[in-house]
């Protein structure tokens, strides 16, 4: 009996249920992944007990000798992995990482260019109820109607017209390569700071599967839990000239004590990302996404931009007679986890949406390959075209379960509810 099982059997049972859900469902949410047992071990470690306000060598508490080494390891590995001048590993999330850059680079009321949320942008790029839309003046840029690619001409025109303090290159649901070099040209022309949000593609960037924002961007933010395959958290990187201001903005400006157990897990994930195995994994993520997109096209689905260059695919359901919320529910009943998602020029509100977003990081972590992506495309097609047929849904759910059993999530079966 574990300590948790003895102390709180209710939570223990819920953890066991969640473990079973992750093991026996196809996880296709593009922003989710499965960490290694080593990452989870670090995150669930003794460092959860330690308060360490400040930075290595400049803490407000005693007893930080080991915390200093852990944080410096995370910083050293991050700089080496991404080739940046400076990195701060303390942000608790991707949105807080973005907030740190906004607070460092802009004043309240300043204007910035960010990707239209309905065209693939993120909540922290100008949603009216998010700090990014409340404190600052967002000027959204869009994708073209004919090919759903970023309209760089529009970005340039908007930049020339509004002279924004900052331009953001990044997205949450954009299946194509982002041209950081073009964004840099535009920013330089109007004297704007360039920020790149690589939360979705950080692992691909680290492995050379997507262009790097360095040395083009002044600031680069990312989460650590998507393609980077680490714990839930954020990172901020910047050019050396902004380092002191950025660090001061994060602490004491935005956050108090850093989550040292999460920083330890970030260090582990960054170390894993420096291996050849990780590079090969990211190549398979992209290969699988292309195969999944190809399979969906063969099944008669419309894809935003016609395919993918990265880890995600955005499916347009407007010709299927269902919306994204319904598709999410139908697929969930068959053991396939996706998320509803707005598509460019979507006639429906975000709560319903006309599309679903799917990605391959998690299923690739399970060692599924191109052949399995073809099978998954067929499963998605069967469910979304025959969702009213309970026999079809049941058979698909059984097929999903069998496929998951062929590719166990944590086959090592270590000790503990999280690992085995």
Quick check: is 59 in a domain?
yes
Specify the pairing of strand 137-141 against strand 26-27.
unpaired
3-state secondary structure at position 188: helix
Tell me what pLDDT residue 390 has. Answer: 96
- Tell me, yes or no, whether 263 and 352 share the same domain: no
CATH number at residue 170: 3.40.640.10
Smallest CA-to-CA distance from 296 within 224, 355, 234 is with 355
Catalytic residue among 12, 51, 152, 410: 51
Active site (annotated) includes residue 176: no
Quick check: is 8 in a domain?
no
- Tell me, yes or no, whether 262 and 397 share the same domain: no
Active site (annotated) includes residue 223: yes
Quick check: is 414 in a domain?
no
Rounded percentage of the chain residues whose pLDDT exceeds 90: 95
Quick check: is 27 in a domain?
no
Q: Is 191 annotated as a binding residue?
A: no
Active site (annotated) includes residue 197: yes
Per-residue pLDDT tens over the stretch 261-288: 999 999 999 999 999 999 999 999 999 9
3-state secondary structure at position 5: helix
**Residue at which a domain ends, from 239, 274, 309:** 274
Catalytic residue among 165, 176, 226, 397: 226
Quick check: is 127 in a domain?
yes
- Tell me, yes or no, whether 335 and 245 share the same domain: no
Per-residue pLDDT tens over the stretch 326-361: 999 999 999 999 999 999 999 999 999 999 999 999
Mean pLDDT across 290-309: 98
Tell me what pLDDT residue 1 has. Answer: 84
Number of alpha carbons in the 13 Å side-chain half-sphere of residue 249: 20
Active site (annotated) includes residue 180: no
Quick check: is 217 in a domain?
yes
Say yes or no to pLDDT of 208 above 50: yes
Measured between alpha carbons, how far is 343 from 341 in angstroms, rounded to an integer?
Answer: 6
Catalytic residue among 223, 224, 227, 396: 223
Domains in the chain: how many in total? 2
- Tell me, yes or no, whether 235 and 263 share the same domain: yes
- Tell me, yes or no, whether 255 and 142 share the same domain: yes
- Tell me, yes or no, whether 244 and 299 share the same domain: no
Burial class (CB in 10 A: 0-12, 13-18, 19+), 77: buried
Confidence band (pLDDT; 50, 70, 90) for 412?
low
- Tell me, yes or no, whether 280 and 260 share the same domain: no
Confidence band (pLDDT; 50, 70, 90) for 416?
very low
Active site (annotated) includes residue 399: no
Say yes or no to pLDDT of 419 above 50: no
Mean pLDDT across 164-187: 97
Tell me what pLDDT residue 126 has. Answer: 85
Active site (annotated) includes residue 21: no
Tell me what pLDDT residue 413 has. Answer: 53
Per-residue pLDDT tens over the stretch 4-58: 999 999 999 999 999 999 999 999 999 999 999 999 999 999 999 999 999 999 9
Smallest CA-to-CA distance from 344 within 171, 125, 127 is with 171
What are the structure tokens assigned to 122, written together?
Answer: 């993120």
Q: Is 122 annotated as a binding residue?
A: yes
- Tell me, yes or no, whether 370 and 292 share the same domain: yes
- Tell me, yes or no, whether 65 and 142 share the same domain: yes
Q: Is 121 annotated as a binding residue?
A: yes
Confidence band (pLDDT; 50, 70, 90) for 123?
confident
Catalytic residue among 19, 232, 279, 374: 232
Say yes or no to pLDDT of 145 above 70: yes
- Tell me, yes or no, whether 320 and 358 share the same domain: yes
Task: Give the contacts of 350 (CB within 8 A, at least 6 positions apart).
Answer: 118, 342
- For residue 321, which phi and psi values (nearest 5 degrees)? 80, 10
Quick check: is 415 in a domain?
no
Quick check: is 367 in a domain?
yes
**Residue at which a domain ends, from 274, 302, 325:** 274
Q: Which residue has the higher pLDDT, 414 or 40?
A: 40
- Tell me, yes or no, whether 111 and 212 share the same domain: yes
Catalytic residue among 197, 218, 272, 399: 197
CATH number at residue 353: 3.90.1150.10
What mean pLDDT is reported for the chain?
Answer: 96
**Residue at which a domain ends, from 274, 295, 312:** 274
Confidence band (pLDDT; 50, 70, 90) for 414?
very low
Domain hosting residue 338, numbered range: 276-406
Say yes or no to pLDDT of 206 above 60: yes
Measured between alpha carbons, how far is 193 from 183 in angstroms, rounded to an integer?
Answer: 10
Catalytic residue among 23, 32, 41, 53: 53
Model pTM?
A: 0.95
- Tell me, yes or no, whether 195 and 86 share the same domain: yes
């Amino acid at each position: 009996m574990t300590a948790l099982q003895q102390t709180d059997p209710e939570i223990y049972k819920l953890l066991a249920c969640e473990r079973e859900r992750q093991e026996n469902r196809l996880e296709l949410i593009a922003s989710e992944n499965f960490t290694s047992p080593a990452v989870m071990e670090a995150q669930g470690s003794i460092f959860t007990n330690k308060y360490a306000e400040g930075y290595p060598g400049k803490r407000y508490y005693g007893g930080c000798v080991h915390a200093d080494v852990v944080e410096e390891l995370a910083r050293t590995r991050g700089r080496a992995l991404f080739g940046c001048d400076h990195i701060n590993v303390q942000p608790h999330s991707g949105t807080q990482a973005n907030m740190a850059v906004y607070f460092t680079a802009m004043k309240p009321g300043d204007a910035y260019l960010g990707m239209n949320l309905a065209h693939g942008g993120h909540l922290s790029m100008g949603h009216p109820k998010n700090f990014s839309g409340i404190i600052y003046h967002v000027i959204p840029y869009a994708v073209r109607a004919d090919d759903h690619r970023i309209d760089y001409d529009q970005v340039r025109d908007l930049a020339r017209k509004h002279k924004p303090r900052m331009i953001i290159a990044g997205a949450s649901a954009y299946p194509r390569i982002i041209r950081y070099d073009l964004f840099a040209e535009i920013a330089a022309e109007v004297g704007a700071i360039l920020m790149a949000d690589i939360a979705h593609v950080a692992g691909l960037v680290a492995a050379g599967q997507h262009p790097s924002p360095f040395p083009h961007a002044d600031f680069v933010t990312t989460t650590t839990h998507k393609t980077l395959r680490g714990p839930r958290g954020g990172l901020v990187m910047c050019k050396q000239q902004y380092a002191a201001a950025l660090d001061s903005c994060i602490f004491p400006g935005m956050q108090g004590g850093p989550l040292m157990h999460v920083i330890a897990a970030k260090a582990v994930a960054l170390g894993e990302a420096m291996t050849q195995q990780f590079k090969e994994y990211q190549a398979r993520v992209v290969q699988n996404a292309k195969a999944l997109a190809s399979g969906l096209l063969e099944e008669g689905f419309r894809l935003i931009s016609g395919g993918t260059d990265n880890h995600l695919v955005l499916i347009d359901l407007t010709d299927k007679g269902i919306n994204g919320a319904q598709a999410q529910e139908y697929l969930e009943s068959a053991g396939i986890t996706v998320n509803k998602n707005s598509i460019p020029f979507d006639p429906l509100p975000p709560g319903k949406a006309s599309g679903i977003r799917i990605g391959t990081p998690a299923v690739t972590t399970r060692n599924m390959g191109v052949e399995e992506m073809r099978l998954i495309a067929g499963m998605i097609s069967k469910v979304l075209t025959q969702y009213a047929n309970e026999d079809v849904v049941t058979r698909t759910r059984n097929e999903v379960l069998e496929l998951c059993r062929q590719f166990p999530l944590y086959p090592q079966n270590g000790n503990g509810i999280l690992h085995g």
